[in-house]
Amino acid sequence: MANVLTTGAWLSAPTKKPSFLARLLRVRIESNERRAAHIVETYVAAHGLQNLSDNAERQIDRLFSRAGR
């Protein structure tokens, strides 16, 4: 019997399609991540920051906490 790990057969095996709920959840998480990245980019651009200081990180955390309400 051939070793599955060395032949790569497990890579070509058909995989089960994720459920609708799992796909919907993944899309929602990716959307939230893009939105968060946009908020950080906007903040950094508006304040002309080159490096994120502790104070800048705290301000960004406050932005997210306000946005989550």
pTM over 0.95: no
Q: Is residue 9 part of a domain?
A: no
Q: Is residue 41 part of a domain?
A: yes
Q: Is residue 61 part of a domain?
A: yes
Rounded CA separation 67/55 (Å): 18
pLDDT for residue 58: 85
Q: Is residue 11 part of a domain?
A: no
Question: Which residue would you say has higher pLDDT here, 33 or 65?
Answer: 33
Residue 2 has pLDDT above 60, yes or no: no
Q: Is residue 10 part of a domain?
A: no
Residues 20-33: pLDDT tens digits? Answer: 999 999 999 999 89
Rounded CA separation 18/6 (Å): 27
- In terms of residue numbers, what domain contains 28? 17-67
The structural domain count of the chain equals 1
Q: What angle do CA 46, 47, 49 make, to 5 degrees?
A: 120
Among 27, 30, 52, CA closest to 41: 52
Q: Are residues 60 and 43 in contact, defined by beta-carbon separation less than 8 angstroms?
A: yes
pLDDT for residue 7: 56
Amino acid at site 12: S
